[in-house]
């Protein structure tokens, strides 16, 4: 289930969910997944989405998804990917600059999970190790007792993301893998945060301590595009973008550094995702 910040229930795409249930819930579907989740397939799909021919898909997609184009800088897009990574009008995504306010890095559906002493967080009854996500046991152990925040983007979401605070960052670390869908249906059978291709960096933030941000690729997402390597950054500055497909950002916060907003904690405890927007307050700092 998905809810807005005002408590409104969002209706999901039932046709898409039926297809995914067939893929992930049958033997034949799982055989097909071995091909669909291969990075080479996403690479080929990405090349088509970069082509001029793919621009023919834009208008049908806008109509089918009900995208409010008045929120974006619209022009004659060269390809579907050009449209997919469209830029939002700044006034439509105001950044909360209060230093102690934790902001969302993107438009997404958010859940928050407590990280145990053993560096484990739970989703729908399944256990996930932070060390599997990062492939780095030492780094993972630094976030015991903190929070894991999962920002799930769907194909009709804005696919650019920003920095949550001022600070400096390490270089980006890429981990190769498969490319499963980030739909919750896939979580019932696969640990996508362990298996999918992903890229992470450590953010040394001014107000929330050290934070790990992980961009997770998904089915038909061949490219995670981060704009910079090691260096300084500012709150609200664009960090990067996802090209075609749904995707996820995972953020790890240390113990006693952030306090997520109550509605988000309550929804997460009930297995409900909360709709959040790029730059809006989702919690406060505890330092």
Q: What is the CA 265 to chain-centroid distance, rounded?
A: 18
d(CA 103, CA 115): 20
268 is catalytic: no
Pick the catalytic residue: 107, 157, 165, 261? 107
- Residue among 12, 5, 54, 8 at smallest CA distance from 220: 54
247 is catalytic: yes
Sequence-separated (6 or more) residues with CB below 8 Å from residue 227: 238, 239, 240
- Residue among 144, 139, 140 at smallest CA distance from 114: 144
Pick the catalytic residue: 42, 104, 247, 268? 247
User: 10 Å Cβ neighbour count for 220?
Assistant: 21
Residues annotated as catalytic are 107, 247
């Amino acid at each position: 289930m998905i809810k807005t910040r005002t408590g409104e229930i969002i209706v999901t795409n039932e046709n898409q969910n039926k297809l995914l249930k067939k893929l992930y819930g049958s033997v034949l579907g799982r055989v097909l997944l071995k091909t669909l989740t291969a990075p080479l397939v996403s690479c080929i799909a990405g090349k088509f989405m970069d082509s001029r021919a793919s621009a023919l898909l834009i208008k049908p997609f806008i109509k089918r998804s009900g995208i409010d184009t008045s929120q974006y800088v619209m022009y004659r897009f060269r390809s579907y990917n050009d449209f997919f990574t469209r830029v939002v009008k700044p006034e439509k995504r105001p950044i909360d600059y209060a230093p102690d306010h934790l902001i969302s890095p993107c438009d997404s559906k958010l859940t928050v999970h407590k990280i145990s002493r053993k560096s484990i967080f739970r989703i729908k009854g399944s256990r996930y190790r932070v060390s599997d996500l990062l492939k780095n046991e030492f780094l993972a152990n630094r976030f015991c007792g903190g929070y894991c925040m999962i920002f799930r983007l769907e194909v009709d979401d804005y696919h650019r993301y920003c920095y949550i605070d001022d600070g400096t960052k390490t270089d980006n670390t890429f981990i190769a893998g498969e490319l499963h869908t980030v739909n919750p249906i896939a979580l019932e059978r696969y640990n996508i945060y362990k298996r999918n291709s992903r890229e992470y960096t450590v953010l040394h933030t001014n107000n929330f301590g050290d934070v790990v941000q992980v961009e997770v690729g998904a089915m038909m997402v061949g490219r995670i595009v981060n704009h910079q390597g090691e260096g300084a950054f500012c709150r609200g500055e664009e960090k990067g973008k996802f090209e075609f497909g749904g995707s996820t950002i995972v953020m790890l916060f240390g113990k006693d550094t952030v306090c997520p907003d109550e509605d988000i904690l309550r929804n997460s405890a009930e297995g409900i995702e909360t709709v959040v927007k790029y730059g809006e307050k989702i919690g406060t700092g505890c330092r």
